[in-house]
Each structure stands twice: as C-alpha cells, then as structure tokens.
Amino acid sequence: MICLGIEGTSHTFGVGIVSSKKNILSDVRDMHTTNEGGIIPVIAAEHHKRVAQKIIEQAILEAKYPKIDLISFSRSPGLPPSLHETRKIALELAKEMNLPVMRVNHVASHLSSAHFHTKVKDPIYLFVSGANTQLIVLENKRFHIIGESLDIAIGNCLDKFAREIGLGFPGGPKIEELAKKGEYVEIPYLVKGMDLSFSGVVTHLANLYKKRIKKEDLCFSLQETCFAMLTEVAERAMANCNKKELVLIGGVAANKRLNEMLNIMCKERKSKFYSVPLKYSGDHGAMIAYQGILEYEKNKKIKTETNSYERIDELDVSWKY
C-alpha cells in the first residue's frame, strides 16, 4: 500500500509518500517562518493554501509517480485555520484522485515516526514540540500522559523568548546557536512532581534581558535549566514505569544539547536512548502517511472532521508497531 500524507497543523505544510514496506518515497515541505514576531494562525493557513499545489506536485514527482492507494491528513491537534485549510486541501485531492482518505492525530504520528525510524520497542516517549511537552507511555492500547507542562510547551518557551530578544520564528535553532557562546546565570527551575512549567522562565529571562544581561548567557541558561527539568522528569518516568528505553520526538528533538543530556542520563541508568533523525524530528508529511497506513490496516472507518484540542490519551490505539 502507498499513502500520500499531508501535514499542516501549524507552521509547516508537508507532503510525504510512504509505502507499507516502510519506504519513504518522497517528503517535501515548506515552513512558514518569520524574521520578527511569531506565527499568526490565519497567515499560516494562507501559507498552506499558497504552497499546497507546488508541494503536492513535487512530492509526486520525487516519488516518481507511484500508484497511490490512500490519502491521509493531520486532523488534530493544531491551529484551527491551519487544520481547516489542510483538511480542505486533502479532501479536494482525494476527490480529484478518487482515493479514500484517513484523518490522523498529529501527535500519534510523531510517536509512530519514532518506531518507523528507530528500533525502539517499549519506551517512555518524551514529546517536545512547539505546542506540547509530554511524557507518554503506551499501555493496554492507550497512550497515557504521565507528565506534562502545566502552561506553555518547551518549544513555545524558546519561541517566545526568541521573540522577546528580536529573533524570528522558529526561535529554537537560533537560541541553540547563541547558547554556544554563553555562560550560566541563575533562572527558575520549575518541576512539580511529574509536571513542568515554562512560562515563568520566559518572564524572568525577559526581565534579565531588560537589565542588559547578554543574549548568549540567557540562551545558554535557558537551555541548561529547561533541558535539565526535562531530563529530571524523563528519568523519573522511566523509573516509575520501569522502562529501559527513552525516545525523544518533536521539533525540539533537533537540539543537540537536549539529546546529549538525555543520552547521559540513560547511560547512567543502563538504558537506551533513541532520537529520530534530525530531518524527521519536526512536522512533515511522511509521518502522517505512515500513520495513515498503520490505521488504515486496522481501522477503515473514514472520519474527516478536525479537532484542534484532541489529546493523545483520547485515542484508541488500534494499530501495532
């Protein structure tokens, strides 16, 4: 089976074509970025509308015009204008090509991409993206969220602070670069049991910036502190659930320092650390296509509504990795 997957929950419009033999035939994307300020949802949706045709055509061309059996798209969770535009694009394409369409959850697709790209079997998932920071475990055909941010996500924390200091979107890679030349200044460390909090960190850093503390030092301290918080809860999740594997997914998984810290922690516990390849850590179409295949084989019911708030623990995990 060959599936064409369309991602468009937020900033990125991506199309991936994947076969059930686990081959990525193509993966093309275009990310809406800014030089200053964050993402405005309706502008992100306009971006998707503008680039859709070109990205779809390029994905089909790069895959060498395969015989596509199925279309899938990310229906949840995300920014409502982006979700609606993506749904519209997917349904129009499915109609044009006379193909069945699957709606899939974006977060489940990120987790499935970990199984696609690595040998991980039964891990604690640490999902770190622009909108989510969650520790997840799969038990009895359900994902359980065993720890999460009580306010903003780690990605959003990085992007918000980047905006405060005049960097554009996405802020994570720019902060990672500046952090290389920084020194530590103390900032709040906010872990509450298995949960985390990042919004106070942004306010604190913004105040230090007004006091003319160097950008580089603030970026370094932000990474060291927030990533240590993530490492602490990830370690506790592994201990509490008796898991010997940790897998890191989501856009912030591109960060080398975060990977390094988690890797050290796992080594010390004699456990295995996995991270998806950098290219596939952020939002992209291939993970949506793979999720379409996983769910189609078990669950052919076709539902196409969008849902901007659907949490991963609401899903029935009908598929097997």
Q: Name the pairing type of β-strands 101-105 and 70-76.
A: parallel
CA distance 264 to 171: 25
Please tell me whether residue 282 binds ligand AMP under the rule CB under 6 A: yes
* Choice between 135 and 254, CB closer to ligand AMP: 254
DSSP per-residue codes, 254-302: G-HHHHHHHHHHHHHTT-EEEE--GGGTS--HHHHHHHHHHHHHH----
Instruction: Give me the residues paired with residue 12 across strands.
Output: 31
Please tell me whether residue 182 binds ligand AMP under the rule CB under 6 A: no
Please tell me whether residue 171 binds ligand AMP under the rule CB under 6 A: yes
**Number of residue whose CB is nearest ligand AMP:** 251
* Choice between 283 and 295, CB closer to Mg ion: 283
Please tell me whether residue 255 binds ligand AMP under the rule CB under 6 A: yes
CA distance 256 to 261: 9
Please tell me whether residue 77 binds ligand AMP under the rule CB under 6 A: no
CA distance 297 to 318: 9
CA distance 262 to 229: 11
* Choice between 30 and 283, CB closer to ligand AMP: 283
Three-state DSSP class for residue 310: coil
What character string, x for contact with ligand AMP (CB under 6 A) and - otherwise, covers 210-249? ----------------------------------------
First to last CA, the chain: 17
Shortest separation between residue 155's beta carbon and Mg ion, angstroms:
8
Alpha helix segments (H runs only) across the chain: 41-62, 80-97, 106-117, 154-164, 172-179, 199-210, 215-241, 256-268, 285-298
* Choice between 70 and 312, CB closer to Mg ion: 312
Neighbouring C-beta atoms of residue 75, cutoff 10 Å: 25
155 binds, among Mg ion, ligand AMP, none (CB under 5 to 8 A by kind): ligand AMP
The angle, 0 to 180 degrees and rounded to 10, between the axes of the packed helices 154-164 and 199-210 is 20
Residues of this chain that bind Mg ion (CB under 5 A): 129, 283
Please tell me whether residue 285 binds ligand AMP under the rule CB under 6 A: no
Nearest CA to 23 among 2, 39, 41? 2
Please tell me whether residue 283 binds ligand AMP under the rule CB under 6 A: yes
| Region near ligand AMP per CB under 6 A, out of 181-189, 201-209, 251-259, 303-311 | 251-259
123 binds, among Mg ion, ligand AMP, none (CB under 5 to 8 A by kind): none
252 binds, among ligand AMP, Mg ion, none (CB under 5 to 8 A by kind): ligand AMP
Q: What is the DSSP letter of 149?
A: B
Please tell me whether residue 202 binds ligand AMP under the rule CB under 6 A: no
Please tell me whether residue 254 binds ligand AMP under the rule CB under 6 A: yes
78 binds, among Mg ion, ligand AMP, none (CB under 5 to 8 A by kind): none
Where do contacts with ligand AMP occur on this chain (CB under 6 A)?
A: 10, 129-131, 155, 158-159, 170-173, 176, 250-252, 254-255, 282-283
